[in-house]
Structure 1
Amino acid sequence: MTPETNRRPIWSIMIPTYERSRYLSAAIESVLAQISEREFDRFQIEVVDNCSINKAIESIVSQYKGKVSFYCQPKTVDIYTNWNTCIERALGIYIHILHDDDIVGAGFYHRMEIGFNTNSAIGAACCRHQHIDEIGRRLKYISRLHRKKAGIIPNFIEKIAISSLFDPPAVTVKKEVYEKLGKFNSQMESSADHEMWIRIAVNYKVWFEPQVLAFYRVHNNTITSTVLSSGYNLVCARRVIKTFDRLLPSHLCWKLTKQALEECGKYGIKLAFRALSKGDLKTTFNQIREVLRSTHSLKVLSVILLVPWLAILAFLWRALRKIFVPIA
């Protein structure tokens, strides 16, 4: 129940954070912008701080007194345990774990709730999402369009097993789903969310909203950027794939394992190319090393040989644009 009423909230928007206050207000404001005064009893909004030294976090939350609550871990835990604390503290029927540097667009919760209400077998509702930069400008990347009209994603197990299709701000989950399937597995580390989406897809229907209603922020001060630099993203991805034999239906296991490992390789090559074109040799080497540990597919291995040449062409193209594109 919310502190102000005896009613259970419909939504729990849980915002995990640790030592980072720069984007927190934007995350909170993006949520509050969607809630009218008479609807606040339908929402629980809580910042779950991982025992930060940075006291600016609590100070920011205090500005929203009566609308946003604050919980601080008694001691610092790993990021996935903090996510699980969000689940434990959530009071609502539906849970949205919104990271402190991400935001949602107008209509997000309304559209997700419509999805959940269409079919009791739906365990998660998600939407198309876009990447933004440090100051909120929209980047080119927009996630895949799984269907043109809102509805249940067909054959979702076969899609989500091969690749993590959704960044966290785009996914909402019924609390009862977490209660049945368990919480995030910290052993999966940077692929903990992907492993969770697979578990959900195996056991429930997943609703998709084709509008872009969630925004994932790309910047250097993230765990993701560190993981990519070391190549550890592919290590964690392989851990998820090793769980397929117990997670997936037996008739799909072999096929999806092969496809997922090949997809790991393709993704690693894409990251290596991007890094090399920027002169980042460390990331390039680490990604290619993990690609070779992930798959021996001839299709993937042949592309590795093209990475240096493609990177050189990309570098030259950018240089030529600087020379010949007139300055406004």
Structure 2
Amino acid sequence: MLESKSIESKESKKSYEIIVVENPSVSSQTSEFLESYRGKITYYKNAKNLNLFGNWNRCISLAKGKWVCILHDDDILLPNYLSEMKKAVEKVEENTALISHRAIYFGNLDLINYRQAEDSGIKKQLKKCKSLFLALKSIKSFCINHIIFPILGVKKYKLLDKRSADYIAKYNPLHPSAMLHNKEVFLKLGGYNQSYFPSDDWFCHIRCAENASVYQLDKFLSKYRYSINLSFNKDTMFYGSIVNFLHTRDNLKINKRLKNILFQKQYENVLKIQDENLKNEILKIFADFGFKQMELKILDRFLYRIYRMHDVEIYKVEK
């Protein structure tokens, strides 16, 4: 069932429309729920089940505006979403298909193995002296951004930056919920493809980056709920692991040592899968691909942290 906070905007000037589109369901109470929003929301019920991606495509087709945000019924837009995204659409290239942003995660955070990091004893002591702690933090940031990154040739991303197909394939950083779609450009590229269910949000983002432009805004503008859904079913995890491995092997232009480090980290992630049969299937595929387990040394882990530091998606969580 939809939550009102998922579809209400707190921004004063109304320059948007809200439509709700759903597949037929005998248990749905959406129409009854939306009675209190009569005149503010347009409701469509599909004559037949278009499945997940077919329904998303219809949402985009029915929208009147140039830019369309698909918001899942359990996710939430933050109050400044519209104003910040309006600024973004004025800055991107004309041939832009998608604009994403950062999301605050909530819900079942165990699904992403989130654990609150504990401060070391030294850090706890430093925090007691706030001015010293902030000064050291600034020095650390300066050294990373102006010394370490330039030496290693690490790219620094902008507030609003274009994401390559390679980047999206490597990290899958774009949340399908609350993403802006350029209606004309996106549908001309074919939209979402139900044949690649349940992973075509990721694959579609890659296609868009290959054939148009995809941007990500480094601001937190929505809340994304983690729950047991199709992102965590066996097929998604199985094929996702294989895609990650093959992409690292065949597409990433990095030295052999760093590739082996990435393979090892992927292997460690597979070991965390609780389903023993699924885990063993993936490990067998890795072995068939020629993966050999290695012990990561201190330098290897340091190189991995540096490699991931500039690229990996930064996120916040809300308990």
Could you tell me the TM-score, scaled by structure 1's length? 0.64
The answer to whether the 8 Å contact 2:23/2:45 transfers is: yes
Spell out, residue by residue over 1:45-74, the C-alpha distance to the aligned partner (whole angstroms, 9 max, x if none): 111111011232221122211111211111
Distance in 1 separating the partners of 2:264 and 2:20: 37
The answer to whether the 8 Å contact 1:127/1:213 transfers is: yes
Following superposition, the deviation at residue 234 of structure 1 comes to: 2.8
Following superposition, the deviation at residue 232 of structure 1 comes to: 3.7
How many residues align structurally? 251
Distance in 2 separating the partners of 1:172 and 1:217: 18
TM-aligned CA distance change 1:302 to 1:148, over 3 Å: same
C-alpha root-mean-square deviation of aligned residues, in Å?
Answer: 3.9
Which of 220, 232, 237 is the matching residue for 1:233? Answer: 237
Following superposition, the deviation at residue 78 of structure 1 comes to: 1.9
Which of 104, 107, 120 is the matching residue for 2:93? Answer: 120
Instruction: Please tell me whether residue 287 in structure 1 is matched to residue 286 in structure 2.
Output: no
The answer to whether the 8 Å contact 1:234/1:264 transfers is: no
Larger radius of gyration: 2
Q: Give SS of 1:190's match.
A: coil
1:39-188 alignment runs, 5 A limit = 39=14, 42-121=15-94, 122-133=96-107, 140=114, 149-153=158-162, 156-188=164-196
The answer to whether the 8 Å contact 1:131/1:216 transfers is: yes
TM-aligned CA distance change 1:91 to 1:264, over 3 Å: farther
Distance in 1 separating the partners of 2:49 and 2:8: 28
Distance in 2 separating the partners of 1:175 and 1:106: 23
Instruction: Please tell me whether residue 32 in structure 1 is matched to residue 24 in structure 2.
Output: no
Give the number of the structure with larger relative contact order, counting CA–CA contacts within 8 Å between residues 6 or more apart.
Answer: 2
Q: Give SS of 2:49's match.
A: coil
Match of 2:120 in 1: none
TM-aligned CA distance change 1:149 to 1:140, over 3 Å: farther
Following superposition, the deviation at residue 297 of structure 1 comes to: 6.0
Please, which runs of 5 or more residues in structure 2 have no aligned partner? 117-154, 296-319
Match of 1:255 in 2: 251
Spell out, residue by residue over 1:165-212, the C-alpha distance to the aligned partner (whole angstroms, 9 max, x if none): 122125212111222201111121121011111111123333322122
Please, which runs of 5 or more residues in structure 1 have no aligned partner? 1-20, 245-251, 305-328
Q: Among all aligned residue pairs of Structure 1 and Structure 2, give the percentage whose two residues are the same amino acid.
A: 21
The answer to whether the 8 Å contact 1:103/1:169 transfers is: no
Distance in 2 separating the partners of 1:81 and 1:265: 37
Distance in 2 separating the partners of 1:292 and 1:173: 39
Following superposition, the deviation at residue 34 of structure 1 comes to: 3.1
The answer to whether the 8 Å contact 1:127/1:171 transfers is: yes
Could you tell me the TM-score, scaled by structure 2's length? 0.65
